[in-house]
Amino acid sequence: MQALRLARPRLPLRSASRAFAAAATSSPSAASTAAASSAQPVVPLSNVEAMWERLSADEQAVIHQQLEEIQKRDWKSLSIDEKKAAYYVAFGPHGPRAPVNPPGAKAKIALGVTGLIVSAGVLFYAIRASAPAPPRTITKEWEEASNERALELKLNPISGVASEGYSGPGFVTHK
């Protein structure tokens, strides 16, 4: 019941208060008919889930109030429809708990992401295909020739290619 109170919107009950005010000013027989009409549900509790979105805010507030009164009784004496209606009104997929994405949105998102990835791949390979050939200095033969030239010129004789006992790759980066 506490959850129902928290979930209930704080709206004035104009139609219900007008019925009670009219019943108070009229005859006792009219008061009994007004009380009977306010006790009748706006929507049958067995159909609250289907009708909730189409009800006005005042009708929703009246159903909230009716369900609060019903829940004050022993829960074992409540019907299944009354329990379902109370649960739906308190925790149903409406208001702040309404689904953010409509049905079918996940498939659209997945197709959109897949399309973007495919288009990015096509763009990447189109740019690679239209790019100029790599320069002649990025070949294994050129790098080996650079190592031989470094030995001839004795480049970096302390710890580099021209040092004694050097066994590193030198300028060769290709395998």
pTM for the full model? 0.40
Measured distance CA(18)–CA(25) in Å, rounded: 11
When the pLDDT of each residue in the chain is averaged and rounded to a whole number, the result is 78
Residues 57-67 have pLDDT tens digits of 888 888 888 88
| Better-predicted residue by pLDDT, 110 or 40 | 110
